[in-house]
Chain A
Amino acid sequence: MSHDGHHSVVIPAPGPEFLPHTVAHHFDTPVQEFQAAKLGFWLFLATEILLFGGLFAAYFYYHEAYPETFRLGGHQLDWKLGALNTSVLLLSSWTMAMGVRSAQTSQKKKLLVYCGLTVLGAAIFMVVKFFEYKAKYDHGLFVFPEMFHGYDTATGQLPWFKDYHGVMAGVPHGHLFFAIYVTMTAIHGLHVLIGAGLILWVMKGAAKGRFHAGYFLPVDLVGLYWHLVDLIWIFLFPLLYLVP
């Protein structure tokens, strides 16, 4: 697209290992570009919180409706694994923050290392989550392979909820806790994977030298996203594992 003789603003690279950044043609200054993107991203994060807000509202509603179900269900979750994952995510938030700092101070190698550590944290989180899900599968509390097998209205049997050990026997609608637990943590897990993908994308740009003191906007935004993923877990952990 021609720029009709308009000259775009270019932020020079601070060293030979970095690339300059060209400000998008419709912005007058780099500050305007930075602030616009950041405001937009904060608004996007607000929509993410509202999306989870619906799930949290459902959680609180059914916690009130079936307190015994939620108490018993919560006891089936391993709070130690949950606490481990909480620590992992908190640490990864710190490494991400250090990554942003490294970009702001033009430390290319440090940026790559801190981003790599953050991705490692995401991987550990997902592995732990896998073993937690597997335990639910083993106990028949959420039989993943049969989750799409429909609902038998004649017998009232839900194929994914078998409860082999009868731990939820005697409370109403025992499946509800596990349905909400899996739905909330799976949507959160999806966000962890998206976040890890975004950080890998930042690392690709960082290796080319795109991010430095003059231009670190994508690192900053991906960092914000990662903190949000962390923050949502900070609420999920006590509500699902500890409150019951």
Chain B
Amino acid sequence: MTTNVPVIDSHHGTPATGKPNFLNCSSGLMSWAGTLDHKRIGVMYLVGTMIAFLCGGLFALLVRLHLWEPHGMLFSNADYNQIFTLHGAFMVFLFVIPAIPGSLGNMVLPLMLGAKDVALPRLNLLSFYLWLTGAILATLAIVLGGFDTGWTFYAPYSLYTNKAVVTIGLAIFVLGFSSIFTGLNFIVTVHKLRAPGLTWFRMPLFVWALYATSLLQVLATPVLGITVLLVAFERLYHIGIFDPRLGGDPVLFEHFFWFYSHPAVYIMVLPAFGIISELVSVHSRKPLFGYKLIAFSSIAIAIISFLVWGHHMFTSGQSTYAMFAFSFLTFFVAIPTAIKEFSWVATVWKGSIALNSPMLYTIAFLIIFAIGGLTGVILGALNVDIHLHDTYFVVAHFHYVMMGSIALAFFAGLHHWWPKMFGVMYDETLAKIACGIIFVGFNLTFLPQFIMGSRGMPRRYATYVPDFEAYHRASTIGAMVLGSGVALMVFYLVASLLSGKKAMQNQWGGVTLDWHTPTPPPLENFDHPPSVTTEVYDYSTLDLRTTQTPVS
């Protein structure tokens, strides 16, 4: 799948000189398919999750096109259910959860720790193949009749529908173990493979964020595993646990599902926070404001995330007192999250800000996440949520977090580490234009959804009353703009691999260990075993020559 190994010097038509790096140290399909190198596994994850993202995006565009007309433009109502389910399931399970840890995390975490690889390289490769198996099973489920339950698989509908729920359940089980093994690997790597002198409070914040994410992956995902297994058992031999006809309780499914899936929201968003923490520092050339607070807030979010799952179930008939507690605890998530947002803004303040494309994506994140986060607090309020439950307000809120924050942070990180990974630079002008298009398109898509949601437009409906037509059409136009921005981004990134100009050894002037290796890094990452003697983000140590030396 990754035969397009970039030849660094193809631009000038001369063979690459200098020491071999991880991209050109060996070649052939098997040198990739059987690789244990965390960087090549990261590249494979990048290709895989980007394909999943583009599929999920295509499904989203189909949903938006369908909603151009109040009675629906493209599909029957039943087909519409399948299309939005595919969009949700592909985006959540194949893209948002694995994308940042699998691609950028794999690539950067061992570099930032000064390690030769992750602690368990074979398990790392297994994680990728489990992801691939899950992706194939999910595709197979489409062929076998699709699935129309929404990505949440709520019982009892998921038990009764005549669709390939068992196959997609198996896909999610397998994807869950892919996620668990990545998390387990990262925890062990952080504990055991830090370079000499790299104490916990000298670790870059991306590492802290991935560590908190990993804890959640290991502790929450098994519950999802057993939940989808129980749904499969229920369909196969009717154990009766979730089926009310057999004495079961469908609300128990909701509890099980959200016990995983609320922490999973932070599995998705914490790595994005980590990327933003790195980028605001590097591109403002300032140490992070409140380093320890940001580090601890990641852990705090991880802990609180286990105590708030009931806020997804305010209309499920759970006990009123439980709802008070869940609503109250939900507000607590806002505290560590706000600490992060304030710290990022305070880091940028009076910094030497470089308005390059990674920083533009970062600024877009800061704006969008402020909206996505605050609307989350609104939805956490019990009485307001009863009104807004299952409306487009909820859809808009979580897209401001999932797409506007997480995907944009992923793009920011991708632009930031792209020259490190491949030794080439993309077209900065096109990158800035694409970032602008994506920002405008995104807001045009989802701002109208806040408004129509607060006015009662329910989510997941294939048709709607004509009063909402203007909002839906604005949203659809926005989605097309957003889609074209993403297409432009994919174009110039791929083009840079084929004919991009050489990157600098240290393109942005970063001082964490990932910028202390040659670019692109050699197979075992460091020419000399690194050791750390300074505090993190100390820009006085920056060797400016490396920022002006092109890769060899």
Interface of A toward B, CB cutoff 8 Å:
1-4, 6, 24-26, 32, 35-37, 39-40, 43-44, 46-48, 50-55, 57-58, 61-62, 65-66, 147-148, 150-151, 153, 156, 158, 160, 172-173, 175-176, 179-180, 183
10 pairs of A and B residues whose beta carbons are closest in the complex = A173-B247, A54-B226, A179-B239, A50-B222, A26-B116, A26-B117, A51-B222, A147-B237, A36-B192, A36-B119
Question: Does residue B54 face the partner (Cβ distance < 8 Å to A)?
Answer: no
Asked whether, in the complex, the Cβ of B247 is within 8 Å of the Cβ of A40, the reply is no
What are 21 pairs between A and B in contact, CB < 8 Å?
Answer: A24-B121, A26-B115, A26-B117, A32-B193, A35-B192, A39-B191, A40-B187, A46-B218, A47-B180, A51-B225, A52-B226, A53-B222, A54-B222, A66-B247, A148-B236, A158-B246, A160-B238, A172-B247, A173-B247, A176-B241, A179-B240
Asked whether, in the complex, the Cβ of A1 is within 8 Å of the Cβ of B219, the reply is no
Residues of chain A lying within 8 A (CB to CB) of residue B223: 50-51, 53-54
| Set B120, B219, B230, B236: member contacting A40, Cβ < 8 A | B120
From DSSP, what is the main secondary structure of chain B's interface residues?
Answer: helix
Known A-B contacts A35-B192, A43-B187; A50 and B219 likewise in contact (beta carbons under 8 Å): yes
| Set B117, B123, B219, B245: member contacting A156, Cβ < 8 A | B245
Asked whether, in the complex, the Cβ of A26 is within 8 Å of the Cβ of B227, the reply is no
Residues of chain B lying within 8 A (CB to CB) of residue A173: 240, 246-247
Asked whether, in the complex, the Cβ of A61 is within 8 Å of the Cβ of B249, the reply is yes
**Bound CA–CA A153/B222 (angstroms):** 32
Residues of chain B lying within 8 A (CB to CB) of residue A65: 247, 249
From DSSP, what is the main secondary structure of chain A's interface residues?
Answer: helix
Please count how many residues in chain B sit with their CB below 8 Å of the partner chain's CB atoms: 46
**Bound CA–CA A223/B116 (angstroms):** 29
- Nearest Cβ on chain A to B249's Cβ, whole angstroms: 7
Residues of chain B lying within 8 A (CB to CB) of residue A57: 256
- Nearest Cβ on chain A to B531's Cβ, whole angstroms: 12
Asked whether, in the complex, the Cβ of A47 is within 8 Å of the Cβ of B218, the reply is yes
**Bound CA–CA A33/B405 (angstroms):** 38
Question: Does residue B188 face the partner (Cβ distance < 8 Å to A)?
Answer: yes
Residues of chain A lying within 8 A (CB to CB) of residue B119: 26, 36, 40
Known A-B contacts A65-B249, A158-B246; A32 and B192 likewise in contact (beta carbons under 8 Å): yes
Residue of B with least CB distance to A38 = B188
Q: A1-B36, A48-B222, A173-B247 are in contact. List 5 more A-B contacts (CB 8 A).
A: A36-B119, A39-B192, A44-B184, A53-B226, A179-B238
**Bound CA–CA A39/B118 (angstroms):** 14
| Set A2, A35, A58, A153: member contacting B230, Cβ < 8 A | A58
**Bound CA–CA A173/B188 (angstroms):** 46
Residue of A with least CB distance to B121 = A26
Question: Does residue B436 face the partner (Cβ distance < 8 Å to A)?
Answer: no
Interface of B toward A, CB cutoff 8 Å:
25-26, 36-37, 115-117, 119-121, 123, 180, 184-185, 187-189, 191-193, 218-219, 221-223, 225-227, 230, 233, 236-241, 245-249, 252, 256, 522-524
Asked whether, in the complex, the Cβ of B219 is within 8 Å of the Cβ of A46, the reply is yes
Residues of chain A lying within 8 A (CB to CB) of residue B227: 54
Known A-B contacts A4-B522, A36-B193, A65-B249; A160 and B188 likewise in contact (beta carbons under 8 Å): no
- Nearest Cβ on chain A to B124's Cβ, whole angstroms: 11
**Bound CA–CA A2/B256 (angstroms):** 47
Asked whether, in the complex, the Cβ of B184 is within 8 Å of the Cβ of A36, the reply is no
- Nearest Cβ on chain B to A227's Cβ, whole angstroms: 19
Residues of chain A lying within 8 A (CB to CB) of residue B241: 58, 62, 176, 179-180
**Bound CA–CA A151/B227 (angstroms):** 21
- Nearest Cβ on chain A to B159's Cβ, whole angstroms: 10
- Nearest Cβ on chain B to A217's Cβ, whole angstroms: 12
Residues of chain B lying within 8 A (CB to CB) of residue A61: 249, 252
Asked whether, in the complex, the Cβ of B222 is within 8 Å of the Cβ of A47, the reply is yes
- Nearest Cβ on chain B to A4's Cβ, whole angstroms: 6
**Bound CA–CA A209/B186 (angstroms):** 32
Residues of chain B lying within 8 A (CB to CB) of residue A2: 25, 523
Residue of B with least CB distance to A149 = B237
Residues of chain B lying within 8 A (CB to CB) of residue A44: 184
- Nearest Cβ on chain A to B39's Cβ, whole angstroms: 13
- Nearest Cβ on chain B to A65's Cβ, whole angstroms: 7
Residues of chain B lying within 8 A (CB to CB) of residue A54: 222-223, 226-227, 230, 256
Residues of chain B lying within 8 A (CB to CB) of residue A147: 236-237
Residues of chain A lying within 8 A (CB to CB) of residue B239: 176, 179-180, 183
Residue of B with least CB distance to A186 = B233
Residues of chain A lying within 8 A (CB to CB) of residue B218: 43, 46-47
Greatest chain A CB density within 10 A among B115, B120, B238, B523 is at: B238
**Bound CA–CA A51/B236 (angstroms):** 20
Residues of chain A lying within 8 A (CB to CB) of residue B26: 1
Residues of chain A lying within 8 A (CB to CB) of residue B256: 54, 57
Greatest chain A CB density within 10 A among B191, B226, B256 is at: B226
Known A-B contacts A1-B26, A40-B188; A176 and B245 likewise in contact (beta carbons under 8 Å): no
Residues of chain A lying within 8 A (CB to CB) of residue B116: 25-26
- Nearest Cβ on chain A to B282's Cβ, whole angstroms: 27
Residues of chain A lying within 8 A (CB to CB) of residue B36: 1
**Bound CA–CA A45/B36 (angstroms):** 24
**Bound CA–CA A43/B185 (angstroms):** 10
- Nearest Cβ on chain A to B24's Cβ, whole angstroms: 13
| Set B25, B121, B188, B192: member contacting A43, Cβ < 8 A | B188
**Bound CA–CA A62/B246 (angstroms):** 12
Residues of chain B lying within 8 A (CB to CB) of residue A36: 119-120, 188-189, 191-193
Asked whether, in the complex, the Cβ of B123 is within 8 Å of the Cβ of A175, the reply is no
Known A-B contacts A36-B192, A53-B222, A54-B223; A153 and B237 likewise in contact (beta carbons under 8 Å): no
Residues of chain A lying within 8 A (CB to CB) of residue B187: 39-40, 43
Residue of B with least CB distance to A50 = B222
- Nearest Cβ on chain A to B264's Cβ, whole angstroms: 14
Residue of B with least CB distance to A53 = B223
Residues of chain A lying within 8 A (CB to CB) of residue B249: 61, 65
Residue of A with least CB distance to B226 = A54
Residues of chain B lying within 8 A (CB to CB) of residue A35: 192
Residues of chain B lying within 8 A (CB to CB) of residue A62: 241, 247
Asked whether, in the complex, the Cβ of B240 is within 8 Å of the Cβ of A43, the reply is no
**Bound CA–CA A167/B98 (angstroms):** 49
Asked whether, in the complex, the Cβ of A25 is within 8 Å of the Cβ of B237, the reply is no
**Bound CA–CA A24/B118 (angstroms):** 12
**Bound CA–CA A31/B222 (angstroms):** 29
